[in-house]
Amino acid sequence: MSDIQNFNSYDPFADVGNSIDSASQQEYIHIRIQQRNGRKTLTTIQGLPASFDKKRMLKIFKKDFACNGTLVEDEELGSVIQLQGDQRTKVMSLLVEEGGVDKKQIKIHGF
């Protein structure tokens, strides 16, 4: 019976509320790049979910990408991971593969 869509007990007019799903859909992980002097660049990862241990992530990032990095606390945006060099695609693939983050949740900025 439940195969028939009309029989589902789902009320389309009910208030959406802030279910966890829609909230997490809205929260993007922003991966940005910033130019420094010369050929040097900086990658920032902003908006990581609170459930992630950023300190450990930073450690893994640093080791995997062979770069230095730091954890910066921002008043509005929370803690942001900073990495040296352009690590955007690498961060993305690592987050998707190891972190179980949905690809749609990640936004890569920059050129």
Q: Which residues bind another protein (CB under 8 A)?
A: 30, 32-37, 42, 44, 46, 72, 74, 77, 80, 82, 109-111
**Nearer Cβ to another protein (45/101):** 45
Instruction: Compute the radius of gyration of the chain from its Cα atoms.
Output: 18
Residue with tokens 């930073």: 58
User: Edge-to-edge strands of the sheet including 106-108?
Assistant: 69-74, 78-84, 41-46, 29-35, 106-108
Closest distance of CB 95 from another protein, Å: 17
Closest distance of CB 54 from another protein, Å: 13
Angle between helices 88-97 and 54-65 (to 10 degrees): 120
Closest distance of CB 4 from another protein, Å: 29
**Nearer Cβ to another protein (66/72):** 72
